[in-house]
């Protein structure tokens, strides 16, 4: 059954924000990449762009300690409510949370020593505008550090998807699938984004992360898949009937692959990119 195709994530619902920490594992994969390479120093004024319900905002505050001040900003109002609740419960007096647009931030020029964004870059409507705004609020020679998944993520799934389209006589949709996959970042594109935004790239670390599932049925029904990727996959196809036929076959093939390989393993190319304000 393709019951997962009926899933709709409603970001306007307070309950959705209340349960958003279901995605902590996905965010933490990239958060670990961030903290492996980020140089932490006392006495910093820091901004987490796209902080959502508070990761890595609160982790940064804990790791930097009371001599630093950490701000978070996000335009998702319900997530901000959740983050402010966490602040009250945790007692982080060095954390401040703002409801606002990353492309038009309510901060003075030259405010921050360090700006971070974990998995934000693929979700901004206008990444160049966000980067320009980050440069405005960044102090001279201040740092910016981003993590993101890259083009080619979950390539094993996309190859099965493409083969199913061809085998079902829908080869004309393969280019659309490739375009949907290719909207993610590349290291070259990130370098251009940094330079055009007024930052000099000082560090770029690439790693391959891995997502593991028992089989394709588990993967397709996982909350991460439904919330983060399902709409994009469905946009490649036409109506409901076509979606059902295609995804039924994708699920069969992913389950067969998992049976042959002892589980379904999906690789996720990722990058940590750090820059300094010019």
Average pLDDT, the chain: 94
* CA end-to-end span of the chain: 54
Is the CB of residue 33 less than 8 Å from the CB of residue 147?
Answer: yes
Contacts of 225 (CB under 8 A, 6+ apart): 4, 219
Number of domains in the chain: 1
Residue 42 scores a pLDDT above 60: yes
Q: What percent of the chain stands above pLDDT 90?
A: 82
Q: Which residue range is the domain that position 249 belongs to?
A: 3-277
pLDDT given at position 206: 98
Rounded CA separation 66/153 (Å): 37
Higher pLDDT, 3 or 174: 174
pLDDT in tens, 224-271: 999 889 999 999 998 888 999 999 999 999 999 999 999 999 999 999
Secondary structure (3-state) at 81: helix
Return the CATH number at 128: 3.40.50.150
Q: Residue 18 — very low, low, confident or very high, per pLDDT cuts 50/70/90?
A: confident
Q: What is the pLDDT of residue 117?
A: 97
Read off the pLDDT of residues 115-169 as tens digits, 9 standing for 90 and up: 999 999 888 999 999 999 999 999 999 999 999 999 999 999 999 999 999 999 9
Q: What is the pLDDT of residue 183?
A: 83
Upstream peptide bond of 56 is cis (omega within 30 degrees of 0)? yes
**Which pair of structure tokens corresponds to residue 278?**
């010019």
pLDDT at 11: 72
3-class secondary structure per residue, 105-118:
CCCCCCCEEEEEEE
What's the whole-model pTM score?
0.89
In this prediction, residue 20 carries a pLDDT of 65
Mean per-residue pLDDT, 167-196: 94
Mean pLDDT, range 93-97, rounded to an integer: 96
| β-bridge partners, 48 | 72, 116
């Amino acid at each position: 059954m393709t019951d997962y195709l009926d899933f709709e994530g409603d970001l306007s619902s307070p309950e959705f924000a209340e349960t958003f920490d279901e995605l902590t594992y996905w965010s933490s994969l990239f958060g670990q990449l961030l903290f492996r390479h980020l140089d932490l120093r006392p006495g910093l004024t820091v901004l987490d762009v796209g902080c959502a319900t508070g990761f890595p905002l609160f982790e940064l505050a804990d790791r930097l300690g009371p001599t630093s001040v950490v701000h978070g900003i996000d335009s998702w109002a319900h997530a901000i409510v959740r983050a402010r609740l966490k602040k009250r419960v945790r007692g982080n007096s060095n954390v401040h949370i703002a409801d606002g647009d990353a492309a038009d931030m309510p901060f003075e020029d030259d405010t921050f020593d360090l700006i971070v964004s974990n998995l934000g870059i693929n979700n901004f409507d206008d990444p160049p505008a966000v980067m320009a705004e980050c440069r405005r609020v960044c102090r001279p020679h201040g740092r910016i550090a981003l993590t993101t998944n890259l083009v080619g993520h979950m390539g094993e799934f996309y190859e099965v998807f493409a083969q199913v389209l061809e085998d079902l006589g829908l080869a004309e949709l393969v280019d659309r699938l490739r375009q949907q996959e290719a909207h993610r970042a590349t290291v070259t594109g990130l370098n251009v984004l940094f330079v055009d935004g007024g930052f000099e790239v000082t560090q770029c670390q690439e790693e391959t992360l891995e997502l593991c599932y028992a089989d394709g049925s588990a993967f397709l029904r996982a909350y991460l898949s439904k919330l983060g990727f399902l709409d994009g996959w469905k946009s490649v196809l036409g109506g409901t009937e076509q979606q059902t036929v295609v995804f039924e076959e994708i699920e069969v093939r992913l389950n067969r692959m998992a049976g042959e390989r002892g589980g379904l393993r999906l690789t996720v190319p990722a990058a940590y990119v750090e820059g300094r304000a010019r």
